[in-house]
């Protein structure tokens, strides 16, 4: 008896208790909704049977119908542009800013802190702001671009099918920039200055120091930033209703907004679940790649 108690307070039992608690939380708060979502994608769901579990089984018909929608491939393409455009933009600009703020100049850390404002603001507010900036006839961005002579004709960021997805991507890059910069700054701060000094003595130039010290030392940070970026970008929803509503003609529609449209505009909850299950499979695949690519990392 005494041994069991002492094992719970200090020993294997305690470890098991901690792991068990975490698992219960994970199962209840993530596992059940996930499974429920998967189950829903194989059923026929309408508002009548929304609150019950026993619904007619639909097999793969939801999947077949979703894939055979005329806008399906357009939405896949847009999702790819949005995800890779956002992650790429956030990472490149975030890294550049992080490097810039590593230079010691007055108020560097204060100004870096101010950048967090964009990360703190709710997506809908950011969306409304960018909605005004990107407006066609009376938008700020158009006024600036015309003022400095870059364009002559009005750019309809929100209504031109070839621009709309980029409009949302630009807003999302701005939104996620500060988060990327912060994580990368932390990674940069962790690299010992001795390495740079030693490299400098050996005659390495700035580019060589960056590619042979900074990048390899940042590998795990970069992996984490990109993986988190993928998740946050696939979660990004608020900007879409606020800026383009997925339009015109689905030219800026992405999977996450499409799932919402199925469920809450067309009231076909099963198809909404189907789209989100497809996204889930993609994210699982991406996380497998991430885990595999960082398998040599030493973990504390």
Residues within the interface to another protein (CB under 8 A): 46-48, 50-51, 70-71, 135-137, 154, 156, 158-161, 241, 244-251, 264-268
CB of 42 to another protein, least distance (A): 19
Nearer to another protein, 122 or 300 (CB): 122
Burial 147-161 (b: 16+ CB within 10 A, else e): eeeeeeebbbbbebe
In the structure encoding, which two tokens stand for residue 213, read together?
A: 């010290």
Q: Tokens 């939104």 identify what position? A: 175
Nearer to another protein, 24 or 140 (CB): 140
CB of 245 to another protein, least distance (A): 6
CA distance linking residue 37 with residue 270, whole number of Å: 9
Helices (H), 148-247: 164-189, 193-201, 206-209, 215-217, 219-235, 239-243
In the structure encoding, which two tokens stand for residue 70, read together?
A: 């005329």
Q: For residue 248, say if its preceding peptide bond is cis, omega within 30 degrees of 0.
A: yes
In the structure encoding, which two tokens stand for residue 177, read together?
A: 């920039």
CB of 263 to another protein, least distance (A): 9
Nearer to another protein, 151 or 291 (CB): 151
Nearer to another protein, 15 or 46 (CB): 46
CA distance linking residue 155 with residue 146, whole number of Å: 10
Give first-to-last CA distance, the chain, whole Å: 34
CB of 274 to another protein, least distance (A): 15
CA distance linking residue 150 with residue 46, whole number of Å: 51
CB of 23 to another protein, least distance (A): 28
Nearer to another protein, 88 or 241 (CB): 241
């Amino acid at each position: 008896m005494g041994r069991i108690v002492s094992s719970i307070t200090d020993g294997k039992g305690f470890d098991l208790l901690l792991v068990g608690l975490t698992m219960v939380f994970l199962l209840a708060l993530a596992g059940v909704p996930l499974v429920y979502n998967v189950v829903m994608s194989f059923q026929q769901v309408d508002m009548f049977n929304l609150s019950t579990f026993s619904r007619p089984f639909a097999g793969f018909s939801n999947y077949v119908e979703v894939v055979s929608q005329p806008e399906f491939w357009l939405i896949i393409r847009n999702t790819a542009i949005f995800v890779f455009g956002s992650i790429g933009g956030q990472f490149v600009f975030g890294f550049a800013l992080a490097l810039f703020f590593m230079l010691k100049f007055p108020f560097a850390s204060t100004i870096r802190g101010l950048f967090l404002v964009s990360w703190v603001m709710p997506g809908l507010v950011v969306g409304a702001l960018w909605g005004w900036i990107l407006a066609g006839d009376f938008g700020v961005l158009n006024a600036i671009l015309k003022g400095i002579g870059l364009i002559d004709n009005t750019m309809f960021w929100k209504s031109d099918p070839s621009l709309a997805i980029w409009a949302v991507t630009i807003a999302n890059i701005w939104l996620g920039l500060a988060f990327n910069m912060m994580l990368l700054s932390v990674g940069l701060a962790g690299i010992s200055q001795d390495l740079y000094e030693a490299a400098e003595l050996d005659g390495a130039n700035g580019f060589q120091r960056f590619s042979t010290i900074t990048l390899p030392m940042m590998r795990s940070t970069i992996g984490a930033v990109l993986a988190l970026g993928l998740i946050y970008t696939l979660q990004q929803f608020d900007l879409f209703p606020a800026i383009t509503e997925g339009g015109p003609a689905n030219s800026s529609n992405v999977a996450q907004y499409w799932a919402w449209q199925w469920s809450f505009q067309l009231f076909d909850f099963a198809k909404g679940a189907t789209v989100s299950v497809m996204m889930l499979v993609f994210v699982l695949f991406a996380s497998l790649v991430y885990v595999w690519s960082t398998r040599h990392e030493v973990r504390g």
